[in-house]
Amino acid sequence: MIDYSQVPSPCYVLEESRLIRNLQILQRVEQEAEVKIICALKGFSMWSTFPLVGKYLAGATASSLNEAKLAKNEMGKEVHVFAPVYGSEEIEEILRLADHITFNSFSQWKRYKSQTLAAHVSPGIRVNPEFSTVETDLYNPCGRFSRLGVTQKEFRPEELDGIEGLHFHALCEQNADALEAVLQNFEARFGQWIPQMKWVNFGGGHHITREDYDVERLIRILRDFHKRYPGIEIVLEPGEAVGWQTGELVASVEDIVRNEKEIAILNVSVSAHMPDCLEMPYRPTVIGAGNPGEKKYDYRLGGDTCLAGDVIGDYSFDSPLQVGDRIVFFDMIHYTMVKTTFFNGVAHPSIGIWTPDGQFKLVHRFTYEQFRDKL
């Protein structure tokens, strides 16, 4: 268990033992269902952990040239790539890095077909099953007018020559029952072409490491797919499930002001350091705090940028907050870290690891030069 008093503030700190637990669950699915699970870097890109991740998973999936470089250079295992569009100035380098590449349209496939085949990279096409139970539109890749994946109406069987895989993605933080429903729609629309493929990528959004996730059902679903389509390799690419509940964001109270209510100003920002809370949106959990009125002392927690709306939320505490008190935001490693910004130039949280032997290891402290060079 992390001793947060030993962690500098502000800092993202990952507990290695919790990451290992997640990886062991994912590895079990890999082995029992005979599938490949790769880490989606868009959700978890803490590359200092990649040597450990690579001991359990088959590789990583990238959404850009930079992520492909990160996967190749820091994990050194299989590199799968999908992006909504590839630019001509980057495709050659992506093809040098990738083992699999998925195209979002047949026009992109036709544009880069000869280069892809010459590079001996396994190509796939992303399809849209036109079904999803994702409730938040921002995260629904199968919503109306989605630009992601080829619909059944736009599918071009005559252009499949050279294509070795089909890729669909329709989940977001969901259980195995959601996958089962999506899979039925995927097969209804595109199943006739599966036997001529080498692989099918089931995308991400599988919340496999969540406590209430039905792992047994997932394994059964994957085994049944193998029975229907023998010899077809299955790939799953969760990101959030890798980093799920593996670490926190440690912050501090820097001032307390009053405007009808007590407002604690912290040395972190929701807009700069926890942007996923605004996008999803969701209210981050503060360890030891409750909802307003639940405990004796109520506070609004605010960030340290000049944005008026840089407000994290209202919480209650057992004791009055004091300048210097630690505020620890739970589960801030997946997605949160990959979306941070240098807005206002405020101090960017450091990155660290809490080792299994109870030691804090500083991985990175951000500098002025990094803020400057971004601009």
SS (H, E, C) the chain: CCCHHHCCCCEEEEEHHHHHHHHHHHHHHHHHHCCEEEEECCCCCCHHHHHHHHHHCCEEEECCHHHHHHHHHHHCCEEEEECCCCCCCCHHHHHHHCCEEEECCHHHHHHHHHHHHHCCCEEEEEECCCCCCCCCHHHCCCCCCCCCCECCCCCCHHHCCCCCEEECCCCCCECHHHHHHHHHHHHHHHHHHHHHCCEEECCCCECCCCCCCCHHHHHHHHHHHHHHCCCCEEEECCCHHHHCCCEEEEEEEEEEEEECEEEEEECCCHHHHCHHHHHCCCCCCECCCECCCCCCEEEEEECCCCCCCCEEEEEEECCCCCCCCEEEECCCCCCCHHHCCCHHHCCCCEEEEECCCCCEEEEECCCHHHHHHHC
**pLDDT on residue 226:** 98
pLDDT digits (tens, 9 = 90+) for 185-227: 999 999 999 999 999 999 999 999 999 999 999 999 999 999 9
The residue segments making up the domain with residue 198 are 33-240
Q: Does residue 10 have a cis bond before it (omega within 30 degrees)?
A: yes
**242 in Cβ contact with 248 (< 8 Å):** no
**pLDDT on residue 349:** 98
Q: 315: closest CA among 340, 339, 295?
A: 295
Q: How many domains does the chain have?
A: 2
Low-confidence ranges of the chain (pLDDT < 70): none
Residue 360 CA to residue 364 CA, distance in Å, equals 12
Q: Is residue 217 domain-shared with residue 349, that is, in the same domain?
A: no
Q: Is residue 108 domain-shared with residue 135, that is, in the same domain?
A: yes
User: Rounded mean pLDDT of the chain?
Assistant: 97
Q: Is residue 216 domain-shared with residue 74, that is, in the same domain?
A: yes
Question: Does any domain span residue 21?
Answer: no
Q: Is residue 251 domain-shared with residue 211, that is, in the same domain?
A: no
Q: 61: closest CA among 53, 71, 51?
A: 71
**71 in Cβ contact with 94 (< 8 Å):** no
Q: Which residues, other chains included, contact 112 with Cβ-Cβ below 8 Å and sequence gap of 6+?
A: 86, 91, 103
> Measuring CA to CA, how many Å separate 5 from each of 30, 134, 245, 340?
37, 39, 19, 24
Angle between helices 215-228 and 176-190 (to 10 degrees): 20
User: Torsions phi, psi of 341, nearest 5?
Assistant: -130, 170
Q: Is residue 91 domain-shared with residue 217, that is, in the same domain?
A: yes
Residue numbering of the annotated binding site for substrate? 240, 276
Q: Is residue 71 domain-shared with residue 173, that is, in the same domain?
A: yes
Q: Is residue 319 domain-shared with residue 288, that is, in the same domain?
A: yes
**pLDDT on residue 280:** 86
Q: Is residue 89 domain-shared with residue 217, that is, in the same domain?
A: yes
Q: Is residue 279 domain-shared with residue 364, that is, in the same domain?
A: yes
Residue numbering of the annotated binding site? 240, 276
Q: Is residue 208 domain-shared with residue 270, that is, in the same domain?
A: no
The share of the chain scoring above pLDDT 90, in percent, equals 98
Q: Is residue 79 domain-shared with residue 135, that is, in the same domain?
A: yes
Q: Count of CB atoms within 10 A of residue 357's CB?
A: 7
